[in-house]
Amino acid sequence: MGTGPAFAAQQADLARLTQASRRRTLSGRGGADFSSNDYLGLASSDELAGAVAAALARGVPVGSGGSRLLRGNHAEHEALEAEAAAFFGCERALWFSSGFAANSALLSTLPQRGDLIVHDELIHASAIEGIRLGRAEHMAVRHNDAAAFELAVQGWRKRGETGRVWLAVESVYSMDGDRAPLDDLAATAARHDAILLIDEAHATGVFGPDGRGLAAHLEGEPNVITLRTCGKALGCEGALVCAPAVVADFLINRGRGFIFSTAPSPLMAAAVRAALGLLKSQPQRRDMLWQRVRLAEQVLGPLGATVSHSQILPLIVGEDSAAMARAAGLQAAGFDVRGIRPPTVPPGTARLRIAITLNVSEAEIAGLGEALQSVTAQA
């Protein structure tokens, strides 16, 4: 029987978060967009709005009405999956409602008891959630260190373990903007008959031929699974698991996050189909994005931002309160830059996560540099 107010423990935890400058709150949009993942500016594009209007006109419903295994499966879902498989070059694509749902389903369902998951220490929280829900042994290794993956597998095998090994990484890391050593990891996977899971969330649409990501040259390999979220550069929502057909079939039969979820909107499937078409037909969007990235590197690099050679330029501040104060100063000046604190990033590395998108102009990038100089001087 509980004592005291019903939610006293929760209230006390919120108070601790406030004291540590780590309490999260929701805030609206405002100012120039330096915080979203809408890298190609598709979310509000006329092209996607037109695709949705056309889908409505031909009778595509807004809601699915049920799970994919009941009445929720729609021709738009199947068309998207077929087109995505052809576009990315995989045997099968399976669409989930979000990247979080897909990652957690992959890593809780596919690795079995007696297997080993070796993952980068900075991998997405959704992957960690899937690992936590699963039955396989797991270990984190040093960020972007291919040799650490190799040593982890070797040590496990020396213990006499015989299960399957799964290597889980992101191709571009969401808070640092740096790239995984995919070719080295693919070689490790080949040596140890392992499966390589690559989260292409922040690479899809931005990198690779036709925006097919940094893992495009590995797609279709029998031991490679990629995850391609649709809510970032594609400007929509959901996530595509690209994999051998047996993987998709297994997720349909055993993936609780897929089986027991209401299917994503068929209308959104139509939007994602259009977005994939735009990746191929409008390469100028990527060209313009990279022009802005190079300008941002020139403007923000000398002010302390990490030149990651991606669209994500973190500026490490260190202390939580200091990072949030600088973010607030930039927001007050009309630039939507958000502060990122632990546990999202390691302790002592609170930062400004600056994302470059086609939603900002070159003049706004220059203006951000001036505002950053000002708030830094006031710190």
- Domain with residue 358: its CATH number is 3.90.1150.10
pLDDT for 3: 66
Is 262 inside any structural domain? yes
Task: Record the tokens describing residue 240, joined without a space.
Answer: 């595509």
- Point out the catalytic residue in the list 97, 120, 232, 297: 232
What was the pLDDT predicted at 195?
98
Q: Tell me the whole-structure pTM to 2 decimals.
A: 0.94
- Residue in 45, 74, 202, 320 annotated catalytic: 202
Distance CA 93, CA 240 (A): 6
Domain boundary among 280, 305, 323: 280
Which of 218, 251, 280 terminates a domain? The answer is: 280
18-45 per-position pLDDT tens digit:
988 888 888 888 899 999 999 999 999 9
**Among the options 120, 170, 219, 336, which is catalytic?**
170
What total number of domains does the chain contain?
2
Q: Is 271 in contact with 52 (CB distance < 8 Å)?
A: yes
170 counts as catalytic: yes
- Specify the pLDDT at position 181: 98
Whether 202 is catalytic is yes
- Of 227, 249, 280, at which residue does a domain stop? 280
Quick check: is 53 in a domain?
Answer: no
Examine residue 108 and state whether it is found in any structural domain, yes or no: yes
Tell me if 17 is assigned to some domain: no
pLDDT in tens, 169-199: 999 999 999 999 999 999 999 999 999 999 9
Asked if residue 269 and residue 159 are part of one domain, the reply reads yes
Query: Do 264 and 177 sit in the same domain of this protein?
Result: yes
Q: DSSP alpha helices (H): ranges in 216-283?
A: 245-254, 256-259, 266-281
Range of the domain at 79: 60-280
Q: Do 294 and 271 belong together in one domain?
A: no
Residues 296 and 258 in one domain: no
What pLDDT, on a 0 to 100 scale, did the predictor assign at position 266? 98
Q: What is the mean pLDDT of residues 2-6?
A: 76
Tokens of 193: 């008959």
Task: Give the bridge partners for 241, in sequence order.
Answer: 94, 227
Q: Is the pLDDT of residue 4 over 90?
A: no
Residue corresponding to tokens 């031929």: 209
For the cut 60, the answer to whether the pLDDT of residue 1 exceeds it is: no
One domain for residues 333 and 193: no
**How confident is the model over 92-149, as pLDDT tens digits?**
999 999 999 999 999 999 999 999 999 999 999 999 999 999 999 999 999 999 999 9
User: Average of pLDDT values for 344-371?
Assistant: 97
Options 74, 124, 261, 310, the catalytic residue: 124
Shared domain for 88 and 136, answered yes or no, is: yes
- Residue 26: what pLDDT? 86
Determine the Cα–Cα distance for residues 107 and 100; give it in Å rounded to an integer: 11
How confident is the model over 51-60, as a mean pLDDT? 98
What does the pLDDT look like over 251-279, one tens digit per residue? 999 999 999 999 999 999 999 999 999 99
Residue of 33, 35, 36, 37 marked active site: 37
103, 174, 265, 359: the catalytic one is 174
Known catalytic membership, residue 174:
yes
Same domain, 162 and 295: no
pLDDT-derived band of residue 49, with 50, 70 and 90 as boundaries? very high
